[in-house]
Amino acid sequence: MQRRDFTKLLGGLAGTGLAGTATAETDGFNPNLQEDPLEEIEILTTEYNESHIYGDSVYALGYGNGYVQARDRLFLLDAVRHIGYGNSAQVLGPAQLSSDIQVRRDLYSPEQIQRQWEEASQTIKEAVRGYTDGVNRRMTEMAAQGELPGIFAALGHAPEPWKPEDTVAAINYLIGFFGVGGGSELGNAKTLAKLKENLGSERDAFEAYGDLNWLETTDDHFTSIAPGDEDYDPDLVETVPEYEDVPREQLDLVDAALGAETWGIETDLSIPEDVQNGIRSGQGLMTGFKWGSNAFVFSGELTETGTPMLGGGPQMGFFKPPIPYEVGLHGAGFDMTGMGVVGAPALVIGRTDTLAWTVTSGRDDQVDTIAVELDPEDRHRYRWDGEWHTMATETVVHKANPAGAVLTGGSGTRVVEQEVARVEQDGATMPVVAWNPDENVAWCQRTTTRGEELEGAFAWAELARSDDLEDFEHRLAEFPFTFNFHVVEYEEDDDGTVERENIAYYHTGKIPDRYEGRDYRLPATPDTHEWTATYSGTGLGTTDRNSSRGYYVNWNNGPAAGWRAGDGEQNWGSRHRVETQNHFIRQKLDIPEGVPVGEETAEQARSTVSLEDVRDIEYQSAKHDATAQVSAPYLRDAAEDAEDLQDVATVLTEWLDDFCSWEDLTDDDRMDYPGHSVFLRARKKLQQRVFDDELDGEQGTLSLRPTTSRHASDSGNATSDVTFIDALAGDTAHDWFATASNDGLATFDAERRDEVIRSVLREVKAELRDEYGSDPSTWRDAILKSKFLSIGASSRTVIDVQNRSSYNQAIDMGFALSDDTQTWQDNAQDVLPPSNSGHQNAQEVARTQATGEEPERLHDQLDIYVENGEYKPHPHTRTQVEDVAVESTTVRVTPEHQYTPVVPAAPRPLPNPIDIPGAEPPSPGDAPSPPEGGAPSPASADDQGADAADDGAGDTGAVEDATDGATEAADDATDAVTEGGRPTGFVSDTDGFY
């Protein structure tokens, strides 16, 4: 297809009158500019803003996807690309500095991103070019119509034209950070060093550390591949060496970890622990983001209809709007409906005619941390294999947006200079993450997947072209990122005969075959670091079809018994939250109580599941504590043995009888069970009492009350519970309760453990009596709440606690393709809370900020999600899409162009600064009084766009008055913003901007 110039984007276009207004039937451009027919894209959109793109080329599908993503998520798109470049603070403010520092250190420079794009395959380039042109096309229209997101004006920032490299940057971040596991060695060394200090013996510390980190999946861990079905190479497993066998050079470097500082940052800046230690995790806006969590699939032998079913979905954090994005892509060999992510042109989870799949994160160890000796006279010189080398370095200046600083509670512009340094050895580029200047040692990291993000992401996207399970598996053969794919396959011949019916599980990643003889939990040295080979995709041997259980279930647990557990502490140990989901699966299948967990088989099932059961398994799993049913019995039993704690034992028993439910069935915004109140308070105190002496409080940090974006936080995760539960059972090398009782004994004693528990329960009982009175039935704390992190000036969204997937599917493959409306809607369902759209123009932002009312499209799936775990129709075939479509749009593709960016308006602040994860607290005394006339509100990115929004809105009454007052107040507040001040009315817990 010939590519031609058509117009300039945004600023220039809005003033020329050339843009016009797009309609459902036309492309919105002057037809006289078009000299030849261009490819048409059809877009059918449902009432939930889920669009289905129909095009004849990869370019066209990318174009349509970019077009609708810009329509619904332009601000989030812009934010994610800046995060991917590591320059997001210049847009979003100082709360993003830690993210930018981490990204520029661990990922790529703009020049490297440019090379990735230049070296991409032709297919990738066609998809990304189409996506780029579609995003820019929609931005052009939005600017001309005054429809740019109002938050841009609040930040004094307009969206630059999208470039192909922007997609590369976004993909690098989304899969390069969250599709890679490992890199915990520096943090592990700090834990071991603390144990050594507090226990007074390196050997004792080493043994105690084995209670926290075991490398090999424990025998009693619930695995997704049933025991006996696994088929991996045992030589790939890594185990903990004996103390005497650990290289002395590794142990000698452990103490240096306590003095580690983030490399290249001399500014007085608070750096999160994960960033300090080289752990890839979301910061700032992306705090709480993950790729995937729970999934389960059933074979037809266990379903009421006799055909395979799929449930669950990725648990990607609670964001408003979400990071996942619903869309359908139809044409050019693709025919898939489901979800992708903002910033990328393809789908990663969903359904085709014959296959449906979802994923969870795999957590393989793909990163090695290596300690190198530094030259005392020159920190840039390091020793490797006995020779001195010089690091490659560059200086990056991070300048935080002062408007963003006001909105997020910061104290004004922040400028941080970062030196990025890399060790280059053995053909590998290894970012330097930390150093100890007193010990002349630095830590760098080598990653198995470096440079493979773009190709890997598109290998994932190509799964949508799979004809059958064989093809699907072939496409995963060398997939390098660490995920668990759960797949159902079903296909009938024309006469109704079943041609293929399978369920499958694939644990993928790219793992190294490491130098033998060292402790893989701790940083290596150049002498003990060596990769002799790497294994990836299905080559790991952690794949399986048609499980002997008749189902697969995974909630980020280990794939197979004895498999690598990675280098993270408390990972894949004796207990795991997947057992909660498996509990409800067993309940639906009526598997006898006497069958041990993990040893279920399809033959033992005495019942089958319906699709309603599939939905309910997901919902019930999300409404019960992940591991309390294992630890709370120890608290109950200890209380039963004390006369003064009988009432405590009773309320704990009642809670345990309901499998530690979080429900608020009385609908009074308080927890149904007083035993839940007892447990939450006691669990926190016990964590501190048991671990503080050995670990200086590091194991005492529990977020049992959910923090913003993190679903249920530690109440929904087993990671902080494994060693605690093992200690309760006396199944540890070190007796953690001995120190807690202050008697210094080293051998486990159950009575000593129970006395520690009773001491804590007496404290909790006294607290509850003081708050609620002597009647235990009144000891009902407020219900826990899950909080969405708002992105783009939306109102705050809080729901009763749910440890549930961010995007859910429930599919019966035997009936999901039906042309009968009722049949397919009953058998193909999904939900994406709170909505698929996050768009608010300037006037809508002003209305939201002034009145608290926001467009319904920002939360139109929330009630469906919250109320008993319900879903909406999940269309796929053309007939199904037409059943639920409410809008049809035809867009002619327009060729790529060197676009001209708009000049941003002066910052127009929102009414309140926002307390977001990682933000610094506001400086007392810097805040001016709020202006008269209402709360400040953002204006549009250019005056003409703002006029268009005002002229076309048609607001009346109180909303119009409030909006006008808010808009006038924005002008009065602009000076305060640009001078580094901030309006008063500080709002805590992520309320509205970010």
* Model confidence pLDDT, tens digit, residues 31-63: 333 334 578 999 999 999 999 999 999 999 999
Closest listed residue to residue 511, CA positions, set 563, 461, 463: 563
Per the CB < 8 A criterion, the answer to whether 481 and 491 are in contact is no
Kindly tell me if the per-residue pLDDT of 572 is higher than 60. yes
Closest listed residue to residue 192, CA positions, set 246, 265, 236, 239: 246
Report pLDDT for 743: 55
Eight-state DSSP code of residue 937: -
Kindly tell me if the per-residue pLDDT of 23 is higher than 90. no
Q: What is the mean pLDDT of residues 611-629?
A: 96
Question: What band does 783 get if pLDDT is binned at 50, 70 and 90?
Answer: very high
Report pLDDT for 324: 96
List Cβ neighbours of 850 (8 Å cut-off, separation of 6 or more). Answer: 911, 934, 935, 937, 959, 962, 963, 965, 966
Average pLDDT, the chain: 87
Report pLDDT for 910: 54
Higher pLDDT, 351 or 989: 351
Per the CB < 8 A criterion, the answer to whether 288 and 708 are in contact is yes
Q: What percent of the chain has pLDDT over 90?
A: 79
Q: Which of 472-481, 798-807, 971-980 has the lowest mean pLDDT?
A: 971-980
Report pLDDT for 747: 78
Report pLDDT for 701: 74
Kindly tell me if the per-residue pLDDT of 514 is higher than 80. yes
Report pLDDT for 181: 97
Report pLDDT for 411: 60
Q: What is the mean pLDDT of residues 609-616?
A: 98
Q: What is the mean pLDDT of residues 130-151?
A: 95
In the numeric block, the tokens 């940057």 are attached to 169
Kindly tell me if the per-residue pLDDT of 357 is higher than 90. yes
Q: Residues 675-710, buried b or exposed e (16+ Cβ, 10 A)?
A: bbbbbbbbbbbbbbbbbbbbbeeebbebebbbbbbb
Report pLDDT for 909: 52
pTM of the model: 0.89
Kindly tell me if the per-residue pLDDT of 159 is higher than 60. yes
Angle between helix axes 58-85 and 97-106 (nearest 10 degrees) is: 110
Q: What is the mean pLDDT of residues 949-957?
A: 32
Per the CB < 8 A criterion, the answer to whether 502 and 545 are in contact is yes
List Cβ neighbours of 264 (8 Å cut-off, separation of 6 or more). Answer: 105, 418, 419, 420, 421, 432
Report pLDDT for 696: 83
Kindly tell me if the per-residue pLDDT of 901 is higher than 50. no
Kindly tell me if the per-residue pLDDT of 252 is higher than 80. yes
Tokens of 90: 């210049």
In the numeric block, the tokens 């319904």 are attached to 856
Sign of the Cα pseudo-torsion (704, 705, 710, 712, in order): positive
Kindly tell me if the per-residue pLDDT of 615 is higher than 60. yes
Q: What is the DSSP string of 515-582?
A: PTTS-TTS-B-TTT--EEEEEEGGGGS-EEES-TTSEEEEES--SSTT-B--SSTT-S-S--THHHHH
Q: Return the half-sphere exposure (C-beta side, CA atoms, 13 A cut-off) of residue 746.
A: 6
The two beta strands, 828-831 and 808-812, are antiparallel
- Measured distance CA(352)–CA(646) in Å, rounded: 56
Task: Give the H/E segment covering residue 769.
Answer: helix 750-772
Report pLDDT for 292: 81
* 3-state SS, residue 356: strand
- Measured distance CA(406)–CA(979) in Å, rounded: 10
pLDDT tens for residues 81-108? Answer: 999 999 999 999 999 999 999 999 999 9
CA 448-451-452 angle, 5° bins: 75
Burial (CB count within 10 angstroms: exposed 0-12, middle 13-18, buried 19+), residue 879 = middle
Kindly tell me if the per-residue pLDDT of 281 is higher than 70. yes
Tokens of 113: 């991103």
Kindly tell me if the per-residue pLDDT of 992 is higher than 50. no
The two beta strands, 872-873 and 324-331, are unpaired
